[in-house]
Structure 1
Amino acid sequence: MKVLETDRLTLRWIEAADAEFIMRLLNEPGWLQYIGDKGIRTIEDANGYILKGPRAMYEREGFGLFLTERKEDHTPIGLCGLIKRDGLEDVDIGFAFLSSYQSQGYAFEAARATVELAKDIGIKRIIAITTKDNESSSKLLEKLDMQLEGYVTLPNDTEELKKYGLNF
């Protein structure tokens, strides 16, 4: 189901047919370094991730991480969306793109549209979390007018993360 469209991108619900892409993205060096190893090694693992992660969140919240693809050729290039995480009071924005599609403005384009979606569905505030060493994500969040508010540690984790916020 299509959720958002920008000049160059379509953001839509993740489907079972996207499992191969999900497996590839979740094993990218940047995903492993900044987000963490989700243990997705097979198509079956990727299908489980899709069902228990994004698809379950769509059902529960009406939003989640959306597959981001280029309009011109329908090539999947990343994920961007809204997430309701355990341990965080506010909805947060998340994004990850294949390395071959980074530094081309796609992440900002998708994230900006996702911020507008949050406003449209009545969310009054969003946050974002990122590792302290993920400079490119921090710069993108600042470009979205999000302000560094401090640090947070998620349940069942030990790493302190940067926390950004934006009120509407």
Structure 2
Amino acid sequence: MKTILETERLRLREFSLEDAEFILALVNTPAWIQYIGDRNIKTPGVAEEYIQETLQKSYAKNGFGLWLMERKEDEESIGMCGLVKRQSLEHVDIGFALLPEYGRQGYTLEAAKATLQYSKEKLKLNTIVAITDPENIASIGLLHKLGMQFDKKLQLSEDNTVLLFSE
């Protein structure tokens, strides 16, 4: 399990197959399903497939991806944060999700700030964007705290309109 970066309270590392139960829990939270969408990951086996086919493939192909957020103090897996290269977007975007019981404690802001710094200093990415559901008030607030500004509405698919933010 390769550690990508550390903050005061968190370690961000690559996902491994051992994280399947955590992925299963995270992608089936009400907020994930409402704002990100139902990925139809309902069993540990499908969660392992998602880790291999989506998360680990991104590490191999792009040199980055979505990383597991774990607390240093107890190695508890609490969420994910990282970078995504989508065919539908010109630039790499930052993404994050957190188990609800760890919300409103500053973890996502801490991880996202470190991810943006890492993207500039280590990956030499000049532009990072973010997309979010228009009704995801918490995510919009976090993007503002990161210094990102609303850019425009984007139609990703027939039934998926998102807000695009940029630095």
Structure 1 residues 157 and 95, CA, compared in 2 at 3 Å: closer, same or farther? farther
Cα distance in 1 for partners of 2:131, 2:24 equals 23
Please name the residue that 1:152 is paired with: 154
SS of aligned partner of 1:160 = strand
SS of aligned partner of 2:160 = coil
Q: TM-score, normalised by structure 1?
A: 0.97
SS of aligned partner of 1:116 = helix
- 1:28 matched to 2:29? The reply is yes
Following superposition, the deviation at residue 157 of structure 1 comes to: 4.3
Cα distance in 2 for partners of 1:162, 1:92 equals 12
Q: TM-score, normalised by structure 2?
A: 0.97
Q: How do 1:7-156 and structure 2 match up within 5 A?
A: 7-120=8-121, 121-154=123-156, 156=157
Q: Alignment identity in percent?
A: 46
Cα distance in 2 for partners of 1:20, 1:151 equals 34
Cα distance in 1 for partners of 2:158, 2:140 equals 20
Matching residue's letter, 2:155: T
Cα distance in 1 for partners of 2:80, 2:35 equals 14
Tell me the matched-pair count: 165
Cα distance in 2 for partners of 1:64, 1:107 equals 16
Structure 2: runs of 5 or more not aligned: none
Following superposition, the deviation at residue 86 of structure 1 comes to: 1.6
Cα distance in 1 for partners of 2:91, 2:24 equals 28
Q: Please list every run of at least 4 consecutive aligned residues from structure 1 whose deviation after the TM superposition is greater than 6 angstroms.
A: none
The Cα RMSD (Å) is 0.7
SS of aligned partner of 1:110 = helix
Cα distance in 1 for partners of 2:87, 2:56 equals 16
| 1:50-85 Cα distance to aligned partner (Å, 9 max, x none) | 011110000000000000000000000000000001
| 1:34-60 Cα distance to aligned partner (Å, 9 max, x none) | 000000000000001001111000000
SS of aligned partner of 1:94 = strand
Cα distance in 1 for partners of 2:3, 2:160 equals 35
Cα distance in 2 for partners of 1:148, 1:14 equals 30
| 1:107-158 Cα distance to aligned partner (Å, 9 max, x none) | 000000000011011101000000000000000000000010011122x442
Cα distance in 2 for partners of 1:76, 1:87 equals 29
Structure 1: runs of 5 or more not aligned: none
